[in-house]
Amino acid sequence: MKLHNPYFPALCSTFLHIILLFTVTLLCLQPATSTTLTNETDRLALLKFKESIVDDPYGILSSWNDSIQFCNWYGVTCGRCHQRITALELQGHNSLGGEIPASLANCTKLRVMTIAWNKLIGTIPRELGSLSKLLYFRVATNNLTGGIPPFLGNLSFLKKNFGIL
Ligand SMILES: *[C@@H]1O[C@H](CO)[C@@H](O)[C@H](O)[C@H]1NC(C)=O
Ligand SMILES: *[C@@H]1O[C@H](CO)[C@@H](O)[C@H](O)[C@H]1NC(C)=O
Ligand SMILES: *[C@@H]1O[C@H](CO)[C@@H](O)[C@H](O)[C@H]1NC(C)=O
Ligand SMILES: *[C@@H]1O[C@H](CO)[C@@H](O)[C@H](O)[C@H]1NC(C)=O
Ligand SMILES: *[C@@H]1O[C@H](CO)[C@@H](O)[C@H](O)[C@H]1NC(C)=O
């Protein structure tokens, strides 16, 4: 029996590469098929957020402009494959004043949203209850009203950390 086929390692490696490529392609394509929500919808949702922030004394959102791809905006993190926002981290003494827009409900890949320690007013939009991937949500120390919204408790694995609302 011929055990040493000289082409075997090369063939095997090519085969593995094809499998790897196929898997990576599948992983990257998968999220896009679910709905019409894309990285463009995310960009628009973030622009709505910027619009609703009427007070930004430290210019925290000044990098949120068209000359920079939105994944590189301050406080924004995107997933590598789908280029959709996975984290919005604006926590800190940023003094952002304004309301939280319902448009953020379109950022369905969001896993982390930390907007605590600002000057946000109004209520937490009911629509955010559809962010099923959200793992970590911090809004404490703002001027939000409406108490702890019960609908957020329905988010899977949500670690609520509201503090004082
Ligand atoms: C959205 O993703 C597509 C494909 O990855 C890319 O070509 C496009 O530039 C992205 N759009 C934005 C606004 O990031
Ligand atoms: C966009 O933001 C960057 C980083 O803050 C800044 O250097 C640039 O001047 C801004 N561009 C516009 C058109 O505002
Ligand atoms: C989500 O995006 C769609 C498509 O751009 C838009 O029609 C809809 O108003 C957005 N939803 C919210 C809550 O902003
Ligand atoms: C919250 O609102 C009160 C009354 O309008 C105001 O005095 C206070 O400074 C506000 N706090 C923040 C963190 O915006
Ligand atoms: C939780 O969410 C599911 C699906 O979105 C819904 O059918 C169910 O009524 C919700 N439960 C509560 C207690 O809100």
Cβ(59) to ligand 2 under 6 A? no
Confidence at 130, pLDDT banded by 50, 70, 90 = confident
Side chain identity at residue 79, one-letter code: G
Q: Which runs of E-coded beta strand occur in the chain?
A: 53-55, 76-78, 85-89, 97-99, 112-114, 119-122, 136-138, 143-144, 159-161
Q: Compute the distance between CA of residue 10 and CA of residue 3 in angstroms, rounded to an integer.
A: 15
Domain regions of the chain by residue span: 36-161
- What token pair was written down for 153? 């408790």
**What is the CA(38)–ligand 1 centre distance, in A?**
9
Q: What is the pLDDT of residue 86?
A: 96
Sequence-ordered list of residues with C-beta below 8 angstroms from that of 54, at least 6 positions apart, any chain: 97, 98
pTM, two decimal places: 0.74
User: Given ligand 4 and candidates 143, 144, 145, which is best to mutate, with the most ligand atoms within 8 Å of its CB?
Assistant: 143
What ligand 1 atom has the least distance to the C-alpha of 40? 13
Please state the CATH superfamily assignment of the domain spanning residues 36-161 in this structure: Ribonuclease Inhibitor (3.80.10.10)
Which ligand approaches the C-alpha of residue 68 most closely? 2
Beta-bridge mates of residue 144: 122
Q: What is the pLDDT of residue 154?
A: 54
Phi, psi (rounded to 5 degrees) for 86: -110, -20
